[in-house]
Amino acid sequence: MTATAFLDARRTASGLADYPGTPPATLDQGYAIQDAALARVSDSVAGWKVGRILPPLSDQYGCDRLAGPIFTPFVEIVDDATSGLVFAEGFGAVEAEFLFRIGTPPPVDKLHFTLEEAAAHIDAVHIGIEIASSPFKGINAMGPAVTISDFGNNNGLLIGPAVPHWRDGAYALQPVATRIDGVAVGTGTASAFNDGAIGSVRFLLENLAARGIAAQSGWWISTGAVTGVHPAQPGQSVETDFGPLGTLTCRIATQEPR
């Protein structure tokens, strides 16, 4: 069973040279594997990552975003000693992101949201870093359905300072840069997203509702890689620069067996 293989590999911090089973051909098949694994995890969910699906794959799969759970043991407030954990024998990357926190959850029977309705359920926005990692080295190369099947390729969330006055939308125009070992590897703005970062919030709320998952107060939504997805290995130093909103640093370390 694919879900069991991924769970075992994450628990033992072992690499997977090949996809464990038949790769999902559709996003729904990917979420079915994710849901099967999620039902067997004892760690509590602290939030969800939203990743972008770019053309031409977004046209092929009929969706421009994907989702995966973020677990409480892998959520940290960034300080000078923060580490991001990656599977040394698998895939590891870092992403500079805006993190939205759910305040009042939506009604469980609400399936669709306008951007304004989605934003009304948010009570704070922070800068942060998503640690994207999977035991399967080829997870991103095989397309979004495969990425979804292993928790959306997530292995942690590092939370930085709050963004003031976020409802005016100015944060979306702020240039963001990512550096690894002092070398610039990407720049971007959240305004480049389809429907912006709020579009990721709307997508996640609708995705959860369609899957019968009730959104919870306090859950974080990591809304998408602003500067890109940047491969990172244990021992490397990462810096994400959000200009006047703050600069976050972390060191990449090896995920140990749990």
> What is the CB neighbour count within 10 angstroms for residue 184?
12
Contacts of 168 by beta carbon, 8 Å cutoff, 6+ apart: none
Strand order in the sheet with 237-241: 83-86, 247-254, 237-241, 176-180, 183-188
Per-residue pLDDT of the chain (258 residues; tens, 9 = 90+): 899 999 999 999 999 999 999 999 999 999 999 999 999 999 999 999 999 999 999 999 999 999 999 999 999 999 988 999 999 999 999 999 999 999 999 998 999 999 999 999 999 999 999 999 999 999 999 999 999 999 999 999 999 999 999 999 999 999 999 999 999 999 999 999 999 999 999 999 999 999 999 999 999 999 999 999 999 999 999 999 999 999 999 999 999 999
Q: Structure tokens of 118?
A: 């989605």
Query: pTM of the prediction?
Result: 0.97
For residue 56, whether the previous peptide bond is cis, meaning omega lies within 30 degrees of 0, is yes
Domains of the chain with bracketed CATH: 2-254 (3.90.850.10)
Strands 45-52 and 220-222: parallel
DSSP structure class, residue 136:
B
